[in-house]
Amino acid sequence: MQIRIYFILLLGFAILSCDEDSKVEKEIAKVDVDFTIERFDKAFYEATLKDLPNLKSAYPFFFSKHEPDSIVIHRMNDSLQHEILQEVDAAFKDFDNTREDLVSMFQHLKYYDKVFSTPRIITLTNNVQYRDKVIITDSIVLVALDNYLGEDHRFYVDGNIPAYLAKNFKKEQIVVDLADGYAKKYAFQSTRKALLEEMIYFGKLLYFKDVMIPFKTDAEKIGYTENQIQWAEANESQIWSYFIEKELLYSTDPKLPNRFIADAPFTKFYLELDNESPGRLGQYIGWQIVKAYAENSGDGIMKIMQTEPEEIFRKSKFKPKK
């Protein structure tokens, strides 16, 4: 009888929690955001010499004052640039779905940060410099569309970009990358030397996505396939046991971030299961710790982003899924 009452109470709390979440999301949906997506890539692709003064006036940050017009004209006529711009133009005929994602993300940002101001959104190309897919400032967001043409695009295959990176080079990940960029602007920690501190830092970034882009799946938020997120969930207890048994949490060994945090095709436990695992499992576990802290503390997202990792870990009372 007691067990039955316990499960009934748990179910009741879950229903109440869902109702509260639903109320918040309804309030967020009322938040007004206004922006246009400015296609600099398209404007540059279609521009002629006589359009150059207008382009410089509208987008002065893309043109150096010390660069002669002859260099810009050469770039406008460059065959490689035309090829990149043609591929982008073909892939991004419209921005309807991406715009819907951006509207929702900005609504969430404005709801949780009352002083947030919606920026200009400008698209461009950057010769597939995938480390700089998005750039975020207080007033401008830049999105390099040639990094979102689909994982099998010849630019990535011929460019020998690793498959574990290219799998996230798709338009559905634009809002995920932007949310990650904003998360980094809000996140603070006084130190990131120990592995646990790194884990919780990236856990904060992922939890920020939980709050700001709840319409994305967990797999999309962390950049895993569905099989990879399922593997991480199924092996959560084993991963945690490994960290504890090897006494890695408070280690400042500089090799550990490369093994457990950095982008990689798999996580380096140096065990037989390595090839089965996705990379960045340290980030995944940090995410679960921050989630547990949020549930136990009741703190809002902005406070969580500023909370020190030791406090998050201690108050999270984290226990991995069995």
Residues 172 and 191 in one domain: no
Boundary (domain end) residue, out of 178, 200, 233:
178
Cα 73 from Cα 47, distance rounded (Å) = 10
- pLDDT category at 21 given cuts 50, 70, 90 is confident
For residue 148, tell me if it sits in a domain.
Answer: yes
What phi and psi values does residue 215 have, to the nearest 5 degrees?
A: -80, -10
Residues 73 and 119 in one domain: yes
For residue 13, tell me if it sits in a domain.
Answer: no
What percent of the chain has a predicted confidence (pLDDT) above 90? 88
Number of separate domains in the chain? 2
Output the pLDDT for position 5.
Answer: 56
Output the pLDDT for position 15.
Answer: 53
Residues 145 and 192 in one domain: no
For residue 31, tell me if it sits in a domain.
Answer: no
For residue 4, tell me if it sits in a domain.
Answer: no
Boundary (domain end) residue, out of 178, 198, 221:
178
Output the pLDDT for position 13.
Answer: 47
Tell me which residue range forms the domain holding 285: 187-316
Q: What are 121's strand-pairing partners?
A: 37, 141
Boundary (domain end) residue, out of 178, 195, 214:
178
Is residue 272 scored above 80 in pLDDT? yes
For residue 264, tell me if it sits in a domain.
Answer: yes
Residue type, 156: Y
Look up residue 316 and give its two tokens.
């999270």
For residue 29, tell me if it sits in a domain.
Answer: no
Q: Which helix (H) or strand (E) holds 26?
A: helix 2-28
User: For 201-210, what is the mean pLDDT?
Assistant: 98
Output the pLDDT for position 322.
Answer: 78
Is residue 244 scored above 50 in pLDDT? yes
Residues 155 and 45 in one domain: yes
Closest among 207, 211, 206, 236 to 223, alpha carbons compared: 206
Q: What are 253's strand-pairing partners?
A: none
Output the pLDDT for position 17.
Answer: 53
Residues 125 and 251 in one domain: no
Which residue matches tokens 């295959």? 157
